[in-house]
Structure 1
Amino acid sequence: MGKSSASLALPQRRAECGHTVFCIHKGVKTFSFCRTKNLLVTGGVDRIVRVWNPYLPGKPTGVLRGHMAPVVYVHISSEENKVFSVSADNTVKIWDLETHVCCFTASSKASGIKGELAACLYLSGPRALCVATDALAFLHLKVGSVPEPHLVHSHQEPVVCCRYNPTFRHVVSCCEASVVKVWDFETGRQVSEFIGTHGNAGITCLTFDSSGRRLVTGGRDGCLKIWSYNNGHCLHTLQHDENQSEVCDCTYMEVNQNRCVIAVGWDRRINVYFDIPCDFHHFWKPQPHWQDDLNHGHKEDILCVAQCPPFLLATSSYDGEIIVWNVISGHVYCKLNPSSPVDGQDHREGQDRSVSQLAFLKTRATKLDSTAASLISNGPGGSVTFWKLFSGAGLIANFIPSRGKAQVSSIVVTSEDTLTYLADQQGFVHVYDIQEYGLQGPELQAPNTVTSWRAHVGMVTSLQLIEGDDILLSSSLDCTVSLWSKDGAYIGTFGQNHPWDVFTPASWSHPRVPFEILTDPQSMPTHLVLETDAPAGCSGGQPEQDNVTEKKVLFETEKTPHLPSPEGPIVEADVKEDGESQWSTFCHGRLLPARRKPRWKAPELKWPSIYQALQCHEITCVSALWEKPDLSVIGSDMFNISLCSQERAAELLGRKELSPWSSFLPEC
């Protein structure tokens, strides 16, 4: 206020730290600044569009070349992640901000923009670029989905496990190459990844802590690691001093306000690591083993662990033994042994009896229901078993969900114990209604089937229900992680080019299915003919049933009439004699693997009905003896002279009456 008016009229020079100067050859005619992406885009007479970091004026972060005239307009569309540029020759270009490549070019002739360019404006609402020349033109942006390659892979190696994190709405997947990838659940885009989590050893299992902020992984190196998976920083390493054996499964559990990580594996012991927030040491040691675990625990490698708060824990081993533990006391609650013969099945020596999947029916287990089934497990021969745990543990039901008797590789149950999802080694997912199943005691029949579909071409390694969104998450050894609706509608595979919106079914890939499933021979729908002759890869390969089917096919073939042959009955007899060997060869060929031989059955030797509508005429046999014509007759027609004797005509008439096609031949 004390300064004179003359001093106020003089321009004040800005301080050097108060402004940034961008030195651009030939100057700038237009620019655009995006605050959300913190980007500056410039265009000028040199026909180059430059992308700048506003705080680094020395060198552009991107140089976009392609215009043939000076650039007069640029605009950054943060919603589309694109840059729009217009040159003086009325050419419009769209650039991708991530790859710095030109996505689309609209020439003046193609777009119909004529005259001298006066002004441009991009409208974000309708996603249209307004160009004013002699007339006003609106160029609407229509973004089409990028066509997917034939095979979409989420990982380069087989995926061994995946889990959904409800805290951050992320999906975390791990592969055998010890690579962890984090995906956005709602769009399918990859968020981050970190490699070498367990060195050269592969990952076998993963889980989250109760807050969802930390990731716990177990590996073949025998240790567990706790990660801040957003930045890939290893917080703690959990291992014991003994020989390091492979960790097969782990779970995070809260017992009496104490939080712990429980791990099982090849050491045949239950290792409990307490999660103590005040313990900042990098290496954590397990608690002393339970006395019952040392004296009455598993005798073989432990493959699976499942929990049922507040105090139940179930483990299963390679020999088929299932032990239910009281976590609070560390005592054995009950033991289940499904290795005994079930439904007349004789378990031969060397047969795989391992139980690798367990799932509690928690609404029944927490009520301590004495008659209802409270635990589900897989078993040998593709079977699934329901067990009761209270007032005398025992078997409630046993059935085989897969028609090919494939081993069940994953089991999940809805929160209200109304549905169970069973996935097998052939990639199929079977859904059963178990709301009333096994409530009143033993069941002789399998539960009602709700739906079934094929999710992967390889073994399904993980299943998880995201019930708040009615979504099913699955991973497989075919290197894919996919999302499905609860009814089996295909949403997409993580790693595909175009994203999806999980809340918008129109953006899902349904009704399309993954390409590899569409082309796989085992994906053929069930049919009466196919079910009687299934390949060994799908039928379990029982030789007795194959022999019965083979004899039935041979019997039906012998009853089928053969085609009358011009070579006489000798050829027909040869065909009948060789028929048995040919069909036997075909039946043995069905035992080839499904990937080498498609699932099909040779049709029965019956003539199509269309042949019955054809008119058949007798043709003179070319092997008949010819008689020398009488050339003495002058003026007679040579072609009216009969070339067959009366005896030969009678022989042809007799053959016609004996032929099976005589009813269809016209009267001559």
Structure 2
Amino acid sequence: MSFDEFFSSLKEATGQDYPRSDVEELFNEASYLQFVREPIMRVLALSQSSPMRYISVSKRGTLIVWNSNLNNIKPLERNASHFNKRHYQRSFQGCTTDAVYMGNVHKIAVSTLTRGIHFFDVTTTIGFEQVHLFGLSHAATALCYWYDTEPFKGIFKIPFTNKPGPLQIFMPHIPKIHSEPINRILYEPHDELIITSSESPASSVVIMDVNQKRAKYIWRTEKGVKCFDFSLSLSLLVTAGVGPVVRLWNRFVTSRPTAVLHGHKTSVVDVVIHQALGKIFSYSKDAVLKIWDIPSQKCVKTFHLKFPNIQVGVTPEQGSFPLLLNLTADPVLLVTCKEYLAVFQLTESNKTKSNNRSGLYTCALYNPHLEQVITACADSTLTVWDVKTGIKRMEVRNAHGKEEVSCMTLDVHQRRLISAATNGTIKVSVWNLLNGLNLHKLETVSNTEVTGIICHHDDLLLATGWSRQIAQYSIAFSEDIYVKAELSWKSGQQHREDILAMDHCLDLGLLATGSYDGEIIIWTLALQKPITRLQRSQQGKVHPPVHRLLFLQKRAQQSHLRSGALLLSSQAGSICWWSIYGPRHNHGQFYVPDEFDESVMGLSTDQENSLLVTGDTTGSIKVWDISHYALSAGDMESAKELPPLLHYWRGHERAIVSSEVLVYESRLFVLSASVDHRACLWTCEGGCVGCFGQKQQWDLSNPDTYQSNRERTSPIKKEKEERTEDSQNPAKHDL
């Protein structure tokens, strides 16, 4: 699927439009231009202040305050009382590397080559240096700041002291990520990602989990990367290096770019994504600003900025961060060129309001009793859909406040939905699927993410996650809104790392849990204790994290098949097959995605355990024939080969987070949900029934209403109608 097709489907699924009109009206020309006596390193927007102000930080450390029109400029006085002013200025000037605005505390942080970071209070025109971090093992070359909306606690709650000067804080060593200096750093709070870039060909861009619980994504480009920008909701990484090209990458694909944009004549020094408009701004050393349309990957406007310091045949000096896109009430783009600062006023005609997390699916499941599909979004929205038509039946917004829904399950009667949230405080709630009422709120056992919920006989609910504990709740006859947790499971010391997956088998009375270090533990539900370990984490031997676990329930019901593989685990793109009994547990494994370094996040099977459906981070769905695969303990030869691949299709542009096989009127279908803002229904052969939320509904009993069949039969029907019309009007051929 191309970017153009992706944006069309995104509009259809979410109702959000990404304008493609000419960009002549996007800008008012750079009507504001100002001169600074020193090369500008960074411009900061004081977005929390009113009216809007900007602060430019020069290479020597001069701070200047500007209004929105870049006039009434005034140097920011730095309070140097209790210091020798001359010594203070000499130690600070000439060594600025980066700066960042800290909106919640109204401060700016300025990093220097002296391995320190200076914090200035900017609530007034006097920049009082309040804190000085020192002792870094290396100089900070790039800064990024994010804050939680909760009341802050930290280094700025300064105790009273008679000691003059700023508070001195020692900063410990930070582990090395790149072999070359880091030139950009960005924190993505929604997925808790740290993104860094450098001019190292071996690690040009690195996306890593801040908690180090997921695998790193590493991009390798010749001569490295000098600048980048990232959009989580578009799953888009934009990079530029030493050359004049701009590269667009899918977040989960490091091997090759999605597109390469040509047009600049000199090296690109900065790139910015305007997500609401679906545009990219790129700026090159020769002061040329280009605007690119993301869907079409075409340049729609070029500005040759006529800065006064530009001389014919001479490339002006550009700072490390020449662009600032400020999307406040009056959106602007600020551009610096050595000692000059210009601002482009963005017109409001093309502004669109969009919730980036709206429609960003995190999980989905099917309720066969009510014939409903339930989807969960990152913006904490739960939606119930009619599987027969695709019509929305019910929506619960802010199900867990602003927290992302991490996992869901149904009670044993399939009339209640249990959902859990992440992003700090855990909230586990039970919902009535007929009216959307919140029936119970379950006690949390820790302030960490819930990754798995199951419900077994007598409505006993088990929940686990990063707490490494298994909490049990009884929701059978409770009329209380608040249900307390039972911690009878002695699981606190069993897993050494966070639990990422769980599944259970009622016929065998077993529970399986898998953790980040690859360990899989089998528990007995009756005794609430572990009975075997399928993959023990040992020092010196690293196992991939267990993303999904799946019991083959039908095989477990047949005693003659219990010696074969009964449990599947998804680990770093491989499907591992495990037997519960016998001396040898591992029956082998095979790799699923077509690309290297991908993962399988969707794992499901049909009721007979004859088909296996996988969904991976490339957006691909595969249907495997496992009816004769690893059936017995001695059948090791069959497990060395791949099972027959029956069907394969690219269902989504981005990573699939959930896939499930469902039965409707004795026919098998596949449900998939992805971070590309689409939840879809497919036939097992790969025909698209439709996407939930689309305008045109389907009838699951009538294949002619499926989206793939409509597209295939429409031209045939049209040709048939034309032939009928011709037969009724023979004179038409004589015209």
Task: Return the TM-score normalized by structure 1.
Answer: 0.50
* Greater fraction helix: 1
Q: If you compute each CA radius of gyration, which structure gives the higher value, 1 or 2?
A: 1
User: Whose relative contact order is higher, 1 or 2, with alpha carbons under 8 Å and at least 6 apart?
Assistant: 2
